[in-house]
């Protein structure tokens, strides 16, 4: 089975609020993680990555947090906008490939 | 810089037929990976090509194959199509093998009837 998964399949967020999307992984040896965003009809879009020697990494309106102790990864989106509506996947470096979680569908309410 | 392109975007085939999908990576990227995306199984790794050689392969039957050309463009082929092969096939490029910052194309939606 997959070693990477997301806690919730769906998330509804009010426009302007912050979003937090969670992901749990099972392989404690994993050293690289990526968050992808997939909009309807499109391929996954790279958002941000983080290596296991970091706890936090920030991008434009996004922050990824890595808690290796509990094998947990989260993506925070600040001031969520309608364009943030999509499916979000976390991916884990799994030997020679990326292993993806099932995804969380984020819906932004106006 | 142009992104990853995939052709065709949509395809309808009949069981038993074969299909070839094409992927052009981002300029300068030499590694191409292919994934199958279905509602039930999510994104699953098919194989990776680098320098015209298959470097890694996922757990798919031999009906799934691919190749890479000297310009890094890649094709994947599925022979003897089954209904369960209906999926979105995505390719992702990166600058080198073992580089996991992968950029995806829009995918080819394959429907097998």
Write out pLDDT tens, residues A43-61. 999 999 999 999 999 999 9
Give the Cα separation of A64 and B53 in Å (integer): 34
Mutate to test the interface with A, among B37, B87, B100 (most CBs of A within 10 A): B100
Q: Is A16 left (phi over 0), alpha (psi -120 to 50) or beta?
A: left
Q: What is the pLDDT of residue A29?
A: 87
pLDDT exceeds 80 at position B1: no
Could you tell me what percent of chain B has a pLDDT over 90? 87
The 10 Å Cβ neighbour count of residue B82 is: 12
Closest CA–CA distance from residue B94 to any residue of chain A (Å)? 12
**Region B60-85: what's the mean pLDDT?**
97
Asked if residues B107 and A43 have their Cβ atoms less than 8 Å apart, the reply is yes
A109 against A5, higher pLDDT: A109
B60: pLDDT strictly greater than 90: yes
pLDDT higher than threshold 60 for residue A4: no
Lowest-pLDDT range, A12-16, A98-102, B82-86, B91-95? A98-102
Q: Is the distance from CB of B42 to CB of A102 less than 8 angstroms?
A: yes
- What's the mean pLDDT when you consider all of chain A? 90
Stretch B70-97: mean pLDDT: 95
With a cut of 90, say whether residue B101 has pLDDT above it: no
Q: What is the pLDDT of residue A1?
A: 30
Quick one: average pLDDT of B11-29?
A: 97
| pLDDT, average across residues B20-44 | 94
Closest chain B residue to A41, measured at CA: B106
SS3 of residue B85 by DSSP: helix
Which residues on chain B are in Cβ contact (under 8 Å) with A2? 42
Share of chain A above pLDDT 70, in %: 94
């Amino acid at each position: 089975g997959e070693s990477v998964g997301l806690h919730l399949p769906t998330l509804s967020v009010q426009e302007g609020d912050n979003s937090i999307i969670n992901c749990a992984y099972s392989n404690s040896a994993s050293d690289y993680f990526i968050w992808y965003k997939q909009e309807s009809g499109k391929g996954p879009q790279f958002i941000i990555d983080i290596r296991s020697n970091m706890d936090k990494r920030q991008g434009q309106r996004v922050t990824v947090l890595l808690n290796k102790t509990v094998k947990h990864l989260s993506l925070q989106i600040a001031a969520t906008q309608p364009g943030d509506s999509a499916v979000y996947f976390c991916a884990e470096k799994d030997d020679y490939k990326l292993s993806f979680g099932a995804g969380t569908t984020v819906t932004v309410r106006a | 810089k142009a992104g990853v392109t995939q052709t065709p975007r949509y395809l309808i085939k009949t069981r038993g037929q074969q299909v070839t999908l094409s992927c052009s990576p981002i300029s300068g990227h030499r590694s191409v990976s292919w994934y199958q995306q279905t509602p039930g199984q999510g994104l699953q790794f098919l194989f990776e090509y680098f320098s015209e050689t298959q470097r890694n392969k996922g757990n798919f039957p031999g009906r799934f194959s691919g190749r890479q050309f000297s310009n890094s463009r890649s094709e994947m082929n599925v022979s003897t199509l089954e209904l369960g092969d209906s999926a979105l096939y995505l390719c992702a490029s990166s600058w080198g093998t073992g580089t996991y910052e992968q950029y995806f194309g829009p995918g080819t939606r394959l429907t097998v009837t």
